Structure 1
């Protein structure tokens, strides 16, 4: 059986006495500089973690992008044509 929480006081967080003290207390410690060989080894280690897509995944994604571009092109062509027709119709009324 689960134990019920007993109502009680909330934990109090320490409030700094001076506003400037909060800035000094929250400031992170200065970081140690990384040497160039260590940096390169870290970059290579991160590079090994990359999972590259397979040729099949790349092909499928590329085909999907081309399909979406074609759909967007048709959509914007239809909307542009409809707006051009509508604007010509409205302007023709005034003549």
Structure 2
């Protein structure tokens, strides 16, 4: 069975198990670099510019679809609830 490939087409490198007594210093994570507040704010603004907001039409269509799915789920669960209620009443009536 073939392993899944990464988007670049190469297989991901797998970590080798550590051998007891060997040095693990090479696997230690590098210390994290701190970001200054102005640099952080700049990065936040840059990420904010990448956001693609849905149009009014897309928002309307999505809202209608959510409403329809809620309506369908409501009807489905009402029917199932009614059926299970009648079935349990029937089973309990048999015991009397």
Q: TM-score range by the shorter chain?
A: 0.7 to 0.9
Partner of 1:91: 92
- Point out 4+ residue stretches in structure 1 off by more than 6 angstroms: 14-17
User: Is the alpha carbon distance of 1:90 and 1:17 closer, same or farther for their aligned partners in structure 2, counting shifts above 3 Å?
Assistant: closer
User: Is the alpha carbon distance of 1:19 and 1:59 closer, same or farther for their aligned partners in structure 2, counting shifts above 3 Å?
Assistant: farther
Q: Can you list the C-alpha shifts for 1:40-82, whole angstroms capped at 9, x where unaligned?
A: 0000100100100000000000000000000000000000000
Number of positions where the alignment pairs a residue of Structure 1 with one of Structure 2: 81
Superposition TM-score, scaled by structure 1 size: 0.77
Rg (Cα) greater in structure: 1
CA distance in 2, matches of 1:59, 1:93: 51
Q: Structure 1 stretches of 5 or more lacking a match?
A: 1-13
Partner of 2:28: 27
CA distance in 1, matches of 2:17, 2:84: 62
More helix by share: 1
Q: Structure 2 stretches of 5 or more lacking a match?
A: 1-15
